[in-house]
Amino acid sequence: MSFGKPPAWSMTEASAFQPPPSSDAATATTDRSADALQTLKGVAQALQENLARGYLESEEQLRQIAEATNDVVLLSDANGGRVLFVNSAYERIWGRSRGELLDNPTAFFDGVHPDDRNRVRETIVGRPRAEFDVEFRVLRPEGGIRWVWTRGFPVRNTDGVIYRVASITEDVTDRRQIVESHQRLIRGFTHDVKNPLGAADGYLSLLETGVFGDMLPAQAETIARARRSIHIAIDLVKQLLDIERAESGQMAVERAPVDFCALLHEIAEEFRGAANARGQHLEVLSACRGGALVIETDVARVRQILANLISNAVKYTHAGGHITIRARPASDAEAPWPGRWIAAAVTDNGPGIPLEKQRLLFREFTRFDPGAAEGSGIGLAISQRMATALGGAVTFSSEPGSGSTFTLWVPRDAKP
């Protein structure tokens, strides 16, 4: 990435696909930042129009709006090579002068914590077409650390050509402290709950083996039901641990060559019985030349993500409905970011997702219809975090009354 010397506004491009924070405090932050991002879009659009027309008085009014916010507002040209504007909040959060950034725009990355720098640089420089969203640490010159959350978007001219990139950066240090406290609570809770549940399951297992004497059929069935309930609870605890590991960046990824098409068919067959029981037609389509599409990824994580997506489609699609599962190599233009991708899409003709719930889909304990099916409501949250750990994402499109499509994007080129 090359930054050149400018007159006065900053930032760059592109994008990490990360789910929004999940705590109540973080949700409020997410809502406020979404509003701020919309405001920024309006400011950037109006500014570009006024600059083009030479309305300097309006430009100054827009600059005053940007200076009034506590968040960092930055605007650059399409390539990030020319800083056009950065407000004074940059100095408060980065602890560095705006003049330094204007003289040397790479100072933006110099202020990023060394452990986050490569990830942030790759996110901003490597994915220029879509809106971007990335959280990282700022290391101030005196040694202080601030957590920030940057969101931005490309600005297009009347011909649809990207020629500006605008962003807003929020100091989320206080929110991170809440999240870390939440993670410690989850770790302690899951440990304290999992152990006694495992012990109870062990005692019931002994009863099933007849070690304390023979049981009547009704007694054996009661114990079997109790064990099934315990297994559900233990599985929920494991899922909560998966979320905590993903949020703390400790989710293990074990990559190995896998035939993606064969894996997809295998997972689909696991749900065919459930689909048939509901009179649903489950169809698998794959564009695999030569009968195989081998990539290097974590087969267990991919299996869990696809199982969650297919399970949701079966649960929420009406009896007699249609579910289609497709796997194919994806072109650069249609993928979330540049690169080589495999897209695995699960499409149903179910009721679709209400518009008011779509923005909450990847939050924990959110369910499409609490009365329609069993479930904890954390499957999509886990799936998104696992996809992120694999270097990909889960995206969706849905139209109420017409069905939904959830797509897992997996990079074809493994990343360390």
Could you read off the pLDDT of 115-133 as tens digits, one per residue? 999 888 877 776 555 677 8
Q: Which pLDDT value is given to residue 324?
A: 93
Question: Is it the case that residue 179 has pLDDT exceeding 80?
Answer: no
Question: Is it the case that residue 150 has pLDDT exceeding 60?
Answer: yes
Residues facing residue 256 across a β-bridge: 297
pLDDT digits (tens, 9 = 90+) for 78-101: 777 777 888 889 999 999 998 888
pTM: 0.52
Question: Is it the case that residue 371 has pLDDT exceeding 60?
Answer: no
Q: Which two tokens stand for residue 104?
A: 């040397």
Cβ-count burial 74-100 (b if 16+ within 10 Å, e if not): bbbbbbbebbbbbbebbbebbbbebeb
Please state the φ and ψ torsions of residue 382, each to the nearest 5 degrees.
-65, -45
217-221, 340-344, 412-416: the lowest-pLDDT one = 412-416
Question: Is it the case that residue 20 has pLDDT exceeding 90?
Answer: no
Average pLDDT over residues 165-191: 77
Alpha helices in 104-172 (DSSP H): 107-110, 114-126
Average pLDDT over residues 353-359: 79
Question: Is it the case that residue 249 has pLDDT exceeding 90?
Answer: no
Neighbours of 167 (CB within 10 A): 27
pLDDT digits (tens, 9 = 90+) for 65-76: 777 778 888 887
Rounded-to-integer distance, Cα 403 and Cα 348, Å: 5
Work out the burial of residue 254: count CB atoms within 10 Å of its CB; fewer than 13 is exposed, 13-18 middle, 19 or more buried: exposed
Question: Is it the case that residue 352 has pLDDT exceeding 70?
Answer: yes
Alpha helices in 210-259 (DSSP H): 217-247
Alpha helices in 359-407 (DSSP H): 379-389
Q: Which pLDDT value is given to residue 129?
A: 59
Largest CA distance in the chain: 92
Q: Which pLDDT value is given to residue 215?
A: 86
Q: Which pLDDT value is given to residue 406?
A: 93
- Please give the share of the chain, as a percent, with pLDDT higher than 90: 17
Residues facing residue 330 across a β-bridge: 341
Rounded-to-integer distance, Cα 21 and Cα 192, Å: 25
Query: What is each CA distance from 101 to 169, 214, 233, 398, in whole angstroms?
Result: 15, 78, 52, 42
List Cβ neighbours of 182 (8 Å cut-off, separation of 6 or more). Answer: 23
Q: Which pLDDT value is given to residue 136?
A: 92
Task: Please report the beta strands in 87-144, taking only residues with DSSP state E, as ranges in sequence order.
Answer: 132-139
Pairing of strands 322-330, 281-286: parallel
DSSP 3-state of 77:
strand
Task: Give the chain's mean pLDDT.
Answer: 76
52-61, 250-259, 287-296, 360-369: the lowest-pLDDT one = 52-61
Q: Which pLDDT value is given to residue 43?
A: 58
CA triplet 171, 175, 178: central angle to 5 degrees? Answer: 155
